[in-house]
Amino acid sequence: MSANLTKLSVTLPMEVAFFDVDAYRIVWHGNYPKYFEIARCKLLTNIGFTYADMEEIGHFYPIVDLQTKYIKPLRFEQTFEITAELKEWKHKLVIDYRIVDSKTRDIVTKGQTTQFAVKMPEELTQFDSPKQFINKVNLAFQTLSGENDD
């Protein structure tokens, strides 16, 4: 996770694979949400509350909104970094994404996903995040600030 004490984030290095590009050898626009998901899953793992943990407590977290701003294309074999940053978590899960070219440091793409907890099997949208998730986020912030260091 990021060393910044004011945010929970993760940055992952990646490289554009051939199967992600179109005939022009640029990343097909529909692959960016996949990159977001890879970073989101790692962020949730670092927080200590994975999708398996969500399901274990009886909740699914479907994406209800996806925003993507394409600034520059990614190309075959280009290296880049994707950062996922937790923005909201008490009533809904909102994560911002930023894709940066590894060499030039130019911002290539920005995005955001919004997810709501849905209690299963009733399929009831929850307008507050489960306490287990909020507790994990609070613990992750405490860990970042050094409150749990011995």
The CATH number of residue 77's host domain is: 3.10.129.10
State the residue for tokens 């074999």. 77
Q: Note whether residue 67 is domain-resident.
A: yes
How many structural domains compose the chain?
1
Phi, psi dihedrals of residue 4, rounded to the nearest 5°:
-65, 120
Domain carrying residue 19: 9-140
Rounded Cα gap, residues 24 and 35, in angstroms: 20
Q: Note whether residue 45 is domain-resident.
A: yes
pTM value is 0.90
Taking only the tens place, the pLDDT of each residue in 85-131 is 999 999 999 999 999 999 999 999 999 999 999 999 999 999 999 99
